[in-house]
């Protein structure tokens, strides 16, 4: 029996072909199986967050639809049933064709018209009543008015008249419920990946300030101050959170630097509001402390990660260092902008900007001291050199102290050489018209045992080596081979001893000294009346022991011309000139044929300029000069000159504090121990010398000091300080090593400089310690009776003899009835 053919319509055939599936290959079947397994594992681990959001959004839309139908008085369940019926009819329509499909669609249209046309009459009436009530209520609110009290007025008769007025009623907007707000927030969420942020991101981004709406109302000054303090405390907390996160893990928190940079600006770019001055200072100091902690001690190199293949750990480290370098550069640029406001022409110089620039300069000084070898540190040093000549003393003092610290801690002398070169360029550009701090900061250089004649010595050494080389060429082959091995061994020994490093450091130190003396000599030659002359002379006195021998004679002539020609020169500058000259003459300058008698006169004339007042600290200059004059050059001095210096020195000790007096007595004691010529000054017989002592004569050679004695020792023996009394008695006894008048060992071994510093009482510490008074009962002395009338004494005596005295109950007081006795 054959198969029966059935005719199928074109619509059914198209639907059949559409639903027909092509057979899959084995690879496609395996891929589908893997996808199904992955979806199954994801469902087991947790539902997809996107499906959750979509389901939540569908539920919210469906809930809103049901609420809307319920407000209109319709049954949402019936609506759902109708929707379900419509869906069922649509599914059935897919399986029909021709006349059956047309009939089904006509029935569907009839059902819709029937549903919309049939309404409950009671339900329509209720809806109309609600609408009418709502319109009437709105009209009443529009017509409603309220009374407001106005300010009272006072009439001419003195009566107070109250006033009122009517205004339209404006109802307050109803607040939405929290549930509705949450639903709207959930509805407004956008599809996308969920970002999991840190717990302190809201603090870093300052969400609280962004969400706070400005309140338009009248506020008092107290409210402003309270709001300011609250804002400062809030920003303090925020800065603390940001900094703690950076210090905890700086590799992942580099973006937090931007929040701190925003607080450093005058206007916060995020909130478009002005930052408080206290907040800006806190932000600058906080970023400085962070960089002091996280910056490495070495110099970071630039590595191109695109051209080189690096391991993961190395790549992470290089990426972090590059990001750190960029942030450090940005921070320095901001500090430069802050300082430029007060240092450049046309800048905004207000008290606030000056204080902020002072904080910025101090932060740069701290960074330079903490990391002197990091990147961009030379830029910091160059900016600080220009700030060394600014018009604000506080900034100059901070930079001066910073450079002194860098000079004392620098072991490589690289940064020291760079700073000295920049200072030289600044002084040369300004034509010596700079502040004193540009010169005094050079006093912090640690310069010892530097020979500026080393280049000549090296040339002589090279000549000797060349002659030695010629001799080696004439040796035999075997001897040359042996010499070669010895040379290699010596080179290896020098490398192990770091001889090359020492030579490089010594060369840098020599360049530094040359640059310093270039600055000093330029000022002395071109502008001897400059305001930095005092600092120049002080520096020359400090570094005179390393001056090249070729400059000695010219330098002494220049200093002598300054002492002779400039009458307005102060005592301090004169003392520095004399100190420099005697330091030169006591060292390598002994070979020079120079008579220093004129400099003795200048020093003798200015010895009494220091007294127990504001300039007492300058006595240290006199002490250093006395060491050169009385100790090192004592053999080049005549007896008359030496005695004159001793007499004037002891006379000046009466005008000093106790530490200056002790330093003076220490110098005299040392001189007495080195020579026996001064014993004549302890003899009170004035017939020994020739002539009469003239203390007002400025020439120590002809003042006849041998005709006097050291009478000041008798005054110092009654000094308030016990050590001064003991030292004066010791010198008066002829400086004995033991026996009567000898000093204890702990005092006798101290030099004059040590006595000046150890017994200094400027810090309110007396040496030795003053003992406390002994505790005890004070002794009461019996007093004497004084009588205004002489005859009353006799009457009083008679009363006591007659016994008209009555004792009280306590038997400690005596009562006398004078009135009855006189009657």
> DSSP assignment of 588-650, as one string?
GGGGS---THHHHHHHHHTGGG--SSTTGGGHHHHHHHHIIIIIITGGGS-HHHHHHHHHHHH
Residue 706 DSSP class: G
End-to-end CA, the chain: 181
pLDDT digits (tens, 9 = 90+) for 595-624: 788 889 999 999 999 999 888 999 999 999
pLDDT, tens digit (0-9, with 9 covering 90-100), for 229-283: 999 999 999 999 999 988 888 888 888 899 999 999 888 888 888 889 999 999 9
pLDDT at 808: 46
d(CA 404, CA 387): 15
The answer, yes or no, to whether residue 79 has pLDDT greater than 60, is: no
Q: Which of 92, 119, 120, 122 is nearest to 105 (CA)?
A: 92
- The DSSP call for residue 788 is S
For the chain, domain boundaries: 595-759, 787-822
Q: What angle do CA 265, 269, 272 make, to 5 degrees?
A: 105
User: Any idea which of 142-151, 176-185, 534-543 has the lowest mean pLDDT?
Assistant: 176-185
What is the CA angle 102-103-104, rounded to 5? 90
The pLDDT of 803-816, averaged and rounded, is 49
Mean pLDDT of all residues belonging to the chain: 78
Q: What is the pLDDT of residue 132?
A: 80
pLDDT higher than 70, residue 660: yes
Q: Which residue has the higher pLDDT, 110 or 794?
A: 794
Other beta carbons within 10 angstroms of residue 449's beta carbon come to 8
CB atoms within 10 A of CB 93: 14
Q: In 3-state terms, what secondary structure has residue 147?
A: strand
Q: Which residue has the higher pLDDT, 161 or 195?
A: 161
Are the CB atoms for 294 and 253 separated by under 8 Å?
no
Q: What is the pLDDT of residue 363?
A: 95
pLDDT at 644 over 80: yes
Q: Which two tokens stand for residue 422?
A: 């920049």
- pLDDT tens across 280-291, in order? 999 999 999 999
Confidence of residue 418 (pLDDT cuts 50, 70, 90): very high
Q: What is the DSSP letter of 195?
A: P
- Please give the helix or strand (H or E) that residue 5 lies within, else none: none
Closest CA to 652 of 667, 641, 632, 640: 667
Quick one: average pLDDT of 312-333?
A: 89
Gap between the Cα atoms of 626 and 632, Å rounded: 9
CA distance 295 to 370: 9
**Residue 583 confidence class, pLDDT cut points 50, 70, 90:** confident
Span 588-600, pLDDT tens digits: 767 777 778 888 9
Task: Report the pLDDT value the prediction gives residue 8, as an integer from 0 to 100.
Answer: 63
Q: Token pair of 110, please?
A: 């009839």
Task: Quote the CA–CA distance of 471 and 450 in Å, as a whole number.
Answer: 33
Instruction: Give the integer Cα–Cα distance in Å for 537 and 583.
Output: 12
* Least confident interval from 155-159, 185-189, 287-291, 422-426: 185-189
325 pLDDT above the threshold of 80: yes
Query: Average of pLDDT values for 693-711?
Result: 89
Coil, helix or strand at residue 173: coil
Q: Tell which residue, 516, 597, 586, 517, has the closest CA to residue 554.
A: 517
Banded pLDDT at 524 (limits 50, 70, 90)? confident
Measure the CA angle with vertex 432, ends 431 and 437; round to 5°: 140
Q: How confident is the model at residue 787 (pLDDT cuts 50, 70, 90)?
A: confident
pLDDT (0 to 100) of residue 190: 44
Helical H runs in 144-200?
178-187
Closest CA to 234 of 254, 256, 207, 213: 207
Are residues 802 and 822 in contact, defined by beta-carbon separation less than 8 angstroms?
no
Residue ranges of E strands in 259-335:
267-268, 273-274
Q: Predicted confidence band at 208 (pLDDT cuts at 50, 70, 90)?
A: low
- Provide the pLDDT confidence category of residue 811 given band limits of 50, 70 and 90: very low
The answer to whether residue 682 scores a pLDDT higher than 80 is yes
Cα–Cα distances (Å) from 359 to 280, 338, 548, in that order, read: 10, 10, 42
What DSSP string runs through 476-511? -HHHHHHHHHHHHHHHHHHHHTTHHHHHHHHHHHHH
Give which of 645, 656, 659 is closest to 724, Cα–Cα.
659
Neighbours of 413 (CB within 10 A): 21
pLDDT > 70: what percent of the chain? 72
Highest-scoring range by mean pLDDT, 133-147, 181-195, 514-528: 514-528
- Calculate mean pLDDT across residues 184-189: 49
Would you place residue 581 in the very low, low, confident or very high pLDDT band (cuts 50, 70, 90)? confident
More confident residue, 40 or 500: 40
How would you class 664 by CB atoms within 10 Å of its CB: exposed for 0-12, middle for 13-18, buried for 19 or more?
buried
Quick: pLDDT tens for 755-771.
999 999 888 888 888 88
Residue whose token pair is 């008085």: 73
Spatial distance between the Cα atoms of 646 and 654, rounded to a whole number of angstroms: 13
Beta bridge partners of 815: 806
DSSP H or E stretch at residue 689: none
| pLDDT value of position 213 | 47
**Separation of alpha carbons 547 and 584, rounded Å:** 8
Token reading at 421: 């070169």
Q: Tokens 């338009």 — which residue?
A: 216
Which whole number is the average pLDDT over 572-585?
87
Cα separation, 197 vs 55, whole angstroms: 25
User: What pairs with residue 56 in β-bridges?
Assistant: none
Please state whether beta strands 160-168 and 267-268 pair in parallel, antiparallel, or not at all (unpaired): unpaired
Sign for the CA dihedral angle at 194, 199, 203, 207 comes to positive
Query: CA-to-CA distance for 758 and 787, rounded, in angstroms?
Result: 58
Q: Is the pLDDT assigned to residue 702 strictly greater than 70?
A: yes
Task: Classify 287 as helix, strand or coil.
Answer: helix
Structure tokens at 755: 């006595």
**pLDDT, tens digit, for every residue of 419-443?**
999 999 999 999 888 999 999 999 9
Do 359 and 281 touch, CB atoms closer than 8 A?
A: yes
Residue 119 has pLDDT above 60, yes or no: no
pLDDT at 714 over 90: yes
User: What is the pLDDT, as a whole number, of residue 584?
Assistant: 83
> What distance in Å separates the CA atoms of residue 469 and residue 462, rounded to the nearest whole number?
10
Q: What is the largest CA-CA distance in the chain?
A: 181
- Give yes or no for residue 218 having a pLDDT over 70: yes
Task: Point out the least confidently predicted range of 325-339, 394-408, 679-693.
Answer: 679-693
pLDDT value, residue 89: 55
**188-192, 390-394, 486-490, 791-795 — most confident range:** 390-394
**pLDDT score, position 193:** 42
Q: How far is the C-alpha of 6 from the C-alpha of 401, rounded, in Å?
A: 109
- Rounded CA separation 761/405 (Å): 26
């Amino acid at each position: 029996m054959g198969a029966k053919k059935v005719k199928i319509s074109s619509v059914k055939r198209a639907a059949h072909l559409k639903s027909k599936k092509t057979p899959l290959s084995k690879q496609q079947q395996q891929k589908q199986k893997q996808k199904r397994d992955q979806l199954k594992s994801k469902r087991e681990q947790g539902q997809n967050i996107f499906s959750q959001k979509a389901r939540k959004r569908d539920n919210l839309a469906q809930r809103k639809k049901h609420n809307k139908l319920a407000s209109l008085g319709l049954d949402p369940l019936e609506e759902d049933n109708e929707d379900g019926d419509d869906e069922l009819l649509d599914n059935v329509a897919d399986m029909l064709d021709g006349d059956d499909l047309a009939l089904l669609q006509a029935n569907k249209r009839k059902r819709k018209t029937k549903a919309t046309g049939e309404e409950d009459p009671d339900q329509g009436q209720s809806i109309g009543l609600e609408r009418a009530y709502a319109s009437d209520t709105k009209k009443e609110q529009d017509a409603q008015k309220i009374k407001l009290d106005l300010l009272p007025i006072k009439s001419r008769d003195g009566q107070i008249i109250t006033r009122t007025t009517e205004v339209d009623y404006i109802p307050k907007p109803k607040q939405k419920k929290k549930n509705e707000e949450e639903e709207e927030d959930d509805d407004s969420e956008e599809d996308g990946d969920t970002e999991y942020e840190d717990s302190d991101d809201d603090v870093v981004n300052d969400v609280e300030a962004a969400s706070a709406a400005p309140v338009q109302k009248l506020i008092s000054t107290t409210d402003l101050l309270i709001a300011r303090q609250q804002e400062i405390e809030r920003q303090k907390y925020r800065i603390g959170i940001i900094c703690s996160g950076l210090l905890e893990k700086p590799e992942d928190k580099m973006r937090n630097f931007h929040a701190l940079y925003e607080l450093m600006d005058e206007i916060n770019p995020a909130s478009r509001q002005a930052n408080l001055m206290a907040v800006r200072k806190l932000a600058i100091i906080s970023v400085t402390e962070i960089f002091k902690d996280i910056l490495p001690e070495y110099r970071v190199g630039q590595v191109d990660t695109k051209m080189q293949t690096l391991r993961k750990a190395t790549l992470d480290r290089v990426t972090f260092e590059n990001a750190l370098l960029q942030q450090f550069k940005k921070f320095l640029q901001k500090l430069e902008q802050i300082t430029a406001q007060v240092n450049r022409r046309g800048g905004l110089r207000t008290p606030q900007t000056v204080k902020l620039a002072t904080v910025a300069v101090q932060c740069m000084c701290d960074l330079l001291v903490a990391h002197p070898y990091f990147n961009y540190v030379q830029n910091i040093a160059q900016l600080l050199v220009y700030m060394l000549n600014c018009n604000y003393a506080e900034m100059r003092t901070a930079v001066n102290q910073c450079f002194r610290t860098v000079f004392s801690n620098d072991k490589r002398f690289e940064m020291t050489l760079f700073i000295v070169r920049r200072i030289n360029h600044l002084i040369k550009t300004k034509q010596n018209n700079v502040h004193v701090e540009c010169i005094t900061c050079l006093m912090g250089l640690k310069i010892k045992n530097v020979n500026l004649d080393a280049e000549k010595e090296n040339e002589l050494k090279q000549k000797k080596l060349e002659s030695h080389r010629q001799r080696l060429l004439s040796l035999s082959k075997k001897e040359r081979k042996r010499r070669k091995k010895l040379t290699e061994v010596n080179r290896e020994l020098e490398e192990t001893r770091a001889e090359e490093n020492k030579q490089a450091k010594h060369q840098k130190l020599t360049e530094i000294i040359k640059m310093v003396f270039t600055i000093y000599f330029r000022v002395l030659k071109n502008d001897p009346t400059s305001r930095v002359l005092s600092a120049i002379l002080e520096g020359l006195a400090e570094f005179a022991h390393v001056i090249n021998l070729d400059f000695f004679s010219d330098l002494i002539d220049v200093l002598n011309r300054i002492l002779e020609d400039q009458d307005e020169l102060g005592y301090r500058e004169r003392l520095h000139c004399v100190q420099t000259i005697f330091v030169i003459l006591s060292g390598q300058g002994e070979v020079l044929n120079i008579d220093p008698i004129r400099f003795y006169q200048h020093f003798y004339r200015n010895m009494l300029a220091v007294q127990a007042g504001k300039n007492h600290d300058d006595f240290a200059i006199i002490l250093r000069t006395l060491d050169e004059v009385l100790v090192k050059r004592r053999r080049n001095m005549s007896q008359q000159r030496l005695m004159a210096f001793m007499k004037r020195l002891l006379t000046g000790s009466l005008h000093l504090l106790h530490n200056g007096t002790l330093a003076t007595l220490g110098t005299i004691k040392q001189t007495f121990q080195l020579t026996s010529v001064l014993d004549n000054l302890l003899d009170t017989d004035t017939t020994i010398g020739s002539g009469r002592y003239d203390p007002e004569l400025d020439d120590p050679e002809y003042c006849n000091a041998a005709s006097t004695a050291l009478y000041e020792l008798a005054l110092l023996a009654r000094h308030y300080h016990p050590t001064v009394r003991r030292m004066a008695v010791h010198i008066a006894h002829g400086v004995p090593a033991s026996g009567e008048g000898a000093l204890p060992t702990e005092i006798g071994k101290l030099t004059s400089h040590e006595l000046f510093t150890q017994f200094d009482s400027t810090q309110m510490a007396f040496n030795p310690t003053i003992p406390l008074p002994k505790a005890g009962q004070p002794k009461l002395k019996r007093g004497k009776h004084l009588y205004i009338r002489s005859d009353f004494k006799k009457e009083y005596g008679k009363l006591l003899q007659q016994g008209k005295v009555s004792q009280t109950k306590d038997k400690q007081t005596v009562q006398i009835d004078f009135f009855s006795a006189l009657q």
